[in-house]
Copies of this chain bind each other. A is one copy, B any other.
Amino acid sequence: MTPGALPTSAMSVEATLTASRALLGVVARSVAGALAVVTLPQFRVLVVLTGSGPLRIGALAEKMAAQQSTFSRTVERMVAGGWLERSPRPGSRREVLIDITPQGRALVDEVTARRRAELGRILSHLTTEEQAAVTAALALLAQAAGETPAEDLLILGL
């Protein structure tokens, strides 16, 4: 190896760091609009519910790594905003199911669509061959990284 040159692995790390900054930018811009109307923790609630379907308030609090009492109030705010709706669980007058409203779902969809759109725009600058190479490489990278627990993304409020 030429003195001063980086080994393949170090080059990969640097390239990955740079790319991750770009992708972070895409993610950030995709949620920017939503953050004008809900907070990041609130948006997170919507994403979780989109993936899980209706949840008891306690179960939801657990997924958000929050206290149940804290959550009762967060839900209250979000119901007031029209993002969530409470409904008693059929057959129980104690449990309360929280579900996302159409308005909430639209917000999540908008973010997802925006993210896909921008990625598509970026990738459209590449040739079909380059796109294929990117697809293969990212698949490899994702596989090497393994599953990303939802709790990890929660660290950033996502």
Contacts and interface: CB of A to CB of B under 8 A. Distances in A.
Main secondary structure of the interface of A (DSSP, over half): helix
A35 B119 CA distance: 29
Copies in the complex: 2
A80 interface: no
A31 interface: yes
Interface residues of A, number: 60
A158 interface: yes
Interface stretch (A48-56, A68-76, A142-150): A142-150
Interface stretch (A82-90, A91-99, A102-110, A120-128): A120-128
Contacts of A2: none
A144 B124 CA distance: 9
B156 A140 contact: no
Contacts of A140: 126, 130, 133-134
A37 B12 CA distance: 31
Given A19-B23, A137-B134, A31 B156 contact: yes
Interface string A22-34: 1111111101100
